[in-house]
């Protein structure tokens, strides 16, 4: 790993250089909601805020949009003519926090697993990713899921130090991009400052799991949490906010839409939520997760048990978005700690099968 330093002026020059030839997306304060940020198209470097909290919508949206056209069709007597729709222009995504980098890495595994989702991989290839270190708030629990200092798949990673940023350069694409502006070799004082900053960041984390993320799988597998799921289901509105803001959720729904002429249209896919009543409903009326408590339970088991078994990592990055977005104040870290507490304290009396 090579380390360089870059001044604020030169970093802005780098952003200007990017904007000249490519689309640049970075965190920008929302005009309609001051204090809230979103990844947006940047026209001038001073629109970017690199020291931001957490965006509501995770950056996965740039590789797996909330809604995307899979192909367009036009109908005639000879059949349907299909045209795949795919954006090819390269872009730069800047200002991605470690937890969101980890989420992209997790989705590389889930969507890249054969048969690979080519749309995800294709969009991933278009992008150069610039990460930036963050300042956690009371919802963040990245320290519990090993994403506190995630770097992959960033091409460049920035840590604020006096006079500018320390730049980590994990990839050749990052090095190539960075070579367009002046940078300096990082001295030991810069590395030390960055290390001090990381320690401060760790100390700032207040939310945490009481067990390691690897242990949570075992806790969930043991079952017997019927009362907890019932209580959560009594508060949950099945609104799906948790799924829609989650950086690692990847369930989707597909459907067709006709143009008004009824001879052409498109097939699209859009983000879906396992909390919706219709999610596991089949033709004929059977609903495989018709009970809200089973849908709530599925969310935790999917992220911390099923996907953990399949990919060796939990599909939670500690970003805290679901806890912030929940309309019923259900908090991810709190629920995990309740499950852990329940499994430790009532292991003899709990019924093994239910929940």
Q: Which helix (H) or strand (E) holds 266?
A: strand 264-271
Q: How far is the CB of 292 from another protein (least distance, A)?
A: 11
Going residue by residue from 82 to 111, which x/- string records binding to another protein, judged by CB under 8 A?
x-x-x-x----------------x--xxxx
- The rounded distance, in Å, linking the Cα atoms of 182 and 263 is 55
Q: Which of 294, 337, 338, 340 binds another protein (CB under 8 A)?
A: 294
Residue 185 makes contact with another protein by CB under 8 A: no
E-assigned strand segments in 143-263: 156-161, 164-169, 184-185, 252-258
Tell me how far, at minimum, the Cβ of 63 lies from another protein, in Å. Answer: 11
The whole-angstrom separation of Cα 254 and Cα 94 is: 30
Does residue 237 bind another protein (CB under 8 A)? no
Counting contacts by CB under 8 A, is residue 8 touching another protein?
no
How large is the angle between the packed helices 226-235 and 292-301, nearest 10 degrees?
110
Residue 307 CB, nearest distance to another protein (Å)? 8
Report the nearest approach of another protein to the CB of residue 71 (Å): 6
Distance CA(242)–CA(193), nearest Å, equals: 36
Give the interface segment with another protein, choosing from 9-17, 176-184, 275-283, 324-332 (CB under 8 A). Answer: 275-283
- With contacts defined by CB under 8 A, name the span among 38-46, 47-55, 120-128, 137-145 that binds another protein: 120-128
Q: Which of 13, 197, 267, 341 contacts another protein by CB under 8 A? A: 267
Characterise 143 by phi-psi region: left (phi > 0), alpha (psi -120 to 50), beta (else).
Answer: alpha
Neighbours of 84 (CB within 10 A): 10
Q: How far is the CB of 187 from another protein (least distance, A)?
A: 30
Binding string, residues 50-79; x marks residues near another protein by CB under 8 A: --------------------xx-x-x---x
Residues 247, 103 contacting (CB under 8 angstroms): yes
Q: Can residue 265 be called a binding residue for another protein (CB under 8 A)? A: yes
Judging by beta carbons within 10 Å of its beta carbon (0-12, 13-18, 19+), is residue 234 exposed, middle or buried? exposed
CA dist., res. 56 & res. 82, Å (int) = 35
C-alpha to C-alpha distance for 54 and 147, rounded to whole angstroms: 15
Structure tokens at 39: 């990844």
CA dihedral angle for residue 103, residue 246, residue 116, residue 86, rounded to 10 degrees: -100
Segment near another protein (CB under 8 A), from 35-43, 53-61, 181-189, 264-272? 264-272
152 counts as binding another protein under rule CB under 8 A: yes
Residue partners of 23: CB distance under 8 A and separation at least 6:
41, 89, 91, 92
- Strand pairing class (127-132; 91-96): parallel
Among 63, 279, 300, 304, contact with another protein (rule: CB under 8 A): 279
Where is 26: in which H helix or E strand? strand 23-29
324 binds another protein (CB under 8 A): no
Q: Per-residue string for binding with another protein, 186-225, x by CB under 8 A? A: -------------------------------------x--
302 binds another protein (CB under 8 A): yes
What is the contact surface with another protein in residues (CB under 8 A)?
A: 70-71, 73, 75, 79-80, 82, 84, 86, 88, 105, 108-113, 115-119, 121-122, 124-125, 152-153, 223, 250-258, 262, 265, 267, 269, 272, 274, 279-284, 286-291, 294, 298, 301-302, 305-306, 309-313, 353
């Amino acid at each position: 790993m090579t380390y360089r330093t870059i001044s604020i002026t030169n970093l802005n020059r780098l952003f200007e250089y990017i904007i000249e030839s490519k689309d640049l997306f970075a965190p920008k304060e929302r005009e309609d909601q001051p204090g809230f940020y979103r990844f947006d198209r940047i026209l001038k470097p001073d629109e970017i805020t690199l020291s931001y909290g957490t965006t509501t919508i995770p950056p996965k949206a740039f590789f797996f949009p909330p809604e995307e056209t899979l192909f367009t069709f036009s109908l005639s007597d000879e059949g349907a003519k299909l045209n795949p729709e795919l954006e090819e222009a390269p872009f730069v995504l800047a200002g991605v926090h470690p937890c969101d980098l980890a989420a992209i890495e997790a989705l590389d595994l889930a969507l890249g697993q054969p048969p690979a989702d080519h749309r995800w991989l294709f969009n991933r290839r278009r992008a150069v990713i610039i990460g930036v270190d963050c300042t956690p708030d009371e919802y963040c629990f990245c320290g519990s899921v090993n994403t506190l200092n995630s770097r992959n798949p960033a091409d460049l990673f920035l840590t604020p130090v006096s006079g500018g940023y320390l730049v980590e350069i994990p990839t050749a694409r990052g090095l190539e991009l960075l070579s367009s502006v002046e940078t300096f070799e990082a001295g030991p004082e810069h590395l030390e400052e960055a290390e001090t900053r990381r320690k401060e960041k760790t100390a700032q984390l207040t939310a945490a799991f009481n067990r390691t993320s690897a242990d949570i799988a075992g806790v969930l597998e043991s079952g017997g949490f019927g009362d907890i799921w019932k209580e959560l289901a009594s508060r949950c509105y099945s609104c799906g906010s948790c799924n829609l803001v989650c950086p690692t959720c990847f369930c989707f729904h597909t459907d067709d839409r006709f143009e008004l002429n009824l001879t052409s249209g498109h097939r699209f896919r859009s983000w879906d939520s396992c909390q919706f009543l219709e999610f596991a409903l089949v033709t004929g009326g059977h609903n495989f997760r018709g009970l809200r408590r089973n849908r709530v339970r599925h969310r935790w088991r999917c992220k911390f048990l099923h996907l953990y078994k399949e990919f060796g990592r939990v599909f939670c990055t500690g970003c805290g978005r679901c806890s912030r977005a929940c309309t019923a104040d259900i908090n991810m870290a709190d629920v995990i700690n309740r499950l852990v507490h329940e499994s430790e304290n009532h292991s003899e009396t709990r019924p093994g099968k239910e929940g």
